[in-house]
Every structure is written in C-alpha cells, then in structure tokens.
Homo-oligomer: A and B are copies of this chain.
C-alpha cells in the first residue's frame, strides 16, 4: 500500500464528504430516525414546585437536537386510571409544561391525549405531575406527539421542501414491517439536526429503531 499525503484540513473535508455522501446516497435524502419515549417538558413554575424553588435541570445526556438534553430529573405522571413512574424530563425548561406519551400510555393513565404538534396544547387533557419536592395538577398539556422531520433551511431548499409542509415517508423498507407514514410534518429551522421523530409504537409498527433511516416519497 502506498502513502497518501494530506493535510488535516484536507482529511476533514474528505471524511465530511464521505459521511455526507453516506447520508445522502446518490443524492437520495436519508433521514436518521429518532425514537421518542414518553417524556415531560417543564416550565419554570412547575420546576419550582416539583424539584424545589430555583432548582435547575442537570444533563443526563444530550439529545440530537442542538441545545436539548435528557435531564437526570424524572417525575411520576398520574391519571385517573393509573400512573407512570420515572418519566424523563427533557431540558431546557420551556414556556409551558407539556407531557408527551404514547397511545398505550394513555390507556394505562386513563387519559385520552390527542395527536398534536409540540406546543399546541389548547383543549388537551391534564394530568398530575409528582416530583420529589411537590406535585401539581395540570389542566392541560398531555399530547401524543405527531411525527415530524427536523431539517435545516439549506437541506430543505436542496430537496425542494418547505417548513410546515406535509410529506409521506417510507420507513423500514428493508424489513417485513415496512410502511409509509402519511401526514408527516416538516419543521425547518436553523437550529435543527436532520432527524425524523416518531414514538416507540410507531417505531415498533415499522420494525425500526434509532439509527435506521427514513426516506421521503411521493
């Protein structure tokens, strides 16, 4: 084998190109799948009640979307029929507390949560949150998150996609549970990492997990 002389900058460019080509093979957009488990976003007021006045979330591990993280903090969520313990809080704090569960979780809790985009909480059911320092009964905020794709504006432009566009996405095409999700929402923002968010039931129905890829289809 011969030796190839490259500068560090050239090497970085080369590796970046290889990784980029791998992600967009033959210029086909391959979207990494991120499977969301049940989780909670807290506002400042509920953080104070559940974990103590002035308490702060601490990072267990970062998630793929820049600036966001799985916190070390967990809470119990309690509905009229049952409760779920050790539900992970996702940071940072938000302007409104929001609880994201699966349809199956809703059965266990006795809460009929609608399929909703994150942040659209009007008319959603409430639930009780229990933390180490106290508990709070929310009037609303429980949703089953609607599946969506995070993408940056440059990539969206390259593939002719727009923020808030509804697309169809093929997923699991190389396994025997392959399917096409309709009604997938595009969310194009500068701070996005390319990722399709689905919940655990959607992932299981499609036979996929974190690290698999999705593809936008007609």
Residues of A in contact with B (beta carbons under 8 Å apart): 102-104, 115, 146-147, 173, 175-183, 200-202, 204-207
Contact = CB atoms under 8 A, between A and B. Distances in A.
Contact of A204 (B103, B180, B183): B103
A200 B115 contact: no
A115 B207 contact: yes
A207 B103 CA distance: 8
Contacts of A102: 204
Contacts of A182: 173, 178-180
9 contacts: A102-B204, A103-B207, A104-B104, A104-B200, A115-B207, A173-B182, A179-B182, A180-B180, A201-B204
Q: Is the interface of A mostly helix, strand, loop or mixed?
A: mixed
Contacts of A176: 115, 146, 183
Which of A104, A146, A205, A207 lies at the interface centre, i.e. has the most chain B CB atoms within 10 A of its CB?
A205
A202 B175 CA distance: 15
A204 B181 CA distance: 13
Contact of A202 (B173, B183, B200, B205): B205
Contacts of A204: 102-104, 201, 205
A108 B41 CA distance: 25
A205 B207 contact: no
A177 B183 contact: yes
A165 to B, nearest CB: 15
A130 to B, nearest CB: 23
Nearest to A117: B176
A205 B115 CA distance: 10
Contacts of A177: 115, 146-147, 183
A202 B102 CA distance: 12
Contacts of A180: 179-180, 182
